[in-house]
């Protein structure tokens, strides 16, 4: 199957092929970012639902939570301590 995908011009990074029936999922994502001079604040919300296939014995490994919130805080062009160089960046999720 991978050779067929490569011939079609696509590269598959992960194929879920361990379920014995068709599995359908649905979801949505919403995110907001607030940009400051050297800082960025962000929040996003994801909704993920397993629609069909929950009777398959492999599907309990679908370990994505139904509701997920992610907060982020990033900085860039900060001064490196004790040097004065503005090359420090960081990110916290």
Domain count, the chain: 1
Please choose, from the candidates 36, 34, 31, the residue with its C-alpha nearest in 3D space to the C-alpha of residue 47: 31
pLDDT in tens, the chain (93 residues): 445 555 666 666 665 566 677 777 889 999 999 999 889 999 999 998 887 766 666 666 667 789 999 999 999 888 877 777 777 888 999
Confidence at residue 43, expressed as pLDDT on a 0 to 100 scale? 97
Instruction: Give the dihedral of Cα atoms 14, 15, 20, 26; nearest 10 deg.
Output: 80
Confidence at residue 33, expressed as pLDDT on a 0 to 100 scale? 96
Confidence at residue 57, expressed as pLDDT on a 0 to 100 scale? 66
Confidence at residue 14, expressed as pLDDT on a 0 to 100 scale? 61
Q: Which residues span the domain enclosing 52?
A: 2-92
Confidence at residue 47, expressed as pLDDT on a 0 to 100 scale? 94
């Amino acid at each position: 199957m991978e050779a067929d995908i490569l011939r079609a011009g696509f590269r598959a990074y992960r194929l879920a092929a361990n379920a014995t029936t068709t599995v359908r999922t649905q979801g949505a994502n919403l995110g907001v970012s607030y940009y400051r001079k050297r800082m960025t604040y962000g929040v996003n919300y994801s909704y993920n639902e397993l629609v069909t296939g929950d009777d398959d014995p492999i599907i309990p490994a679908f370990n994505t939570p139904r509701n997920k919130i992610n907060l982020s805080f990033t900085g860039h062009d900060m001064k490196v301590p004790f040097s004065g160089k503005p090359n420090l960046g960081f990110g916290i999720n």
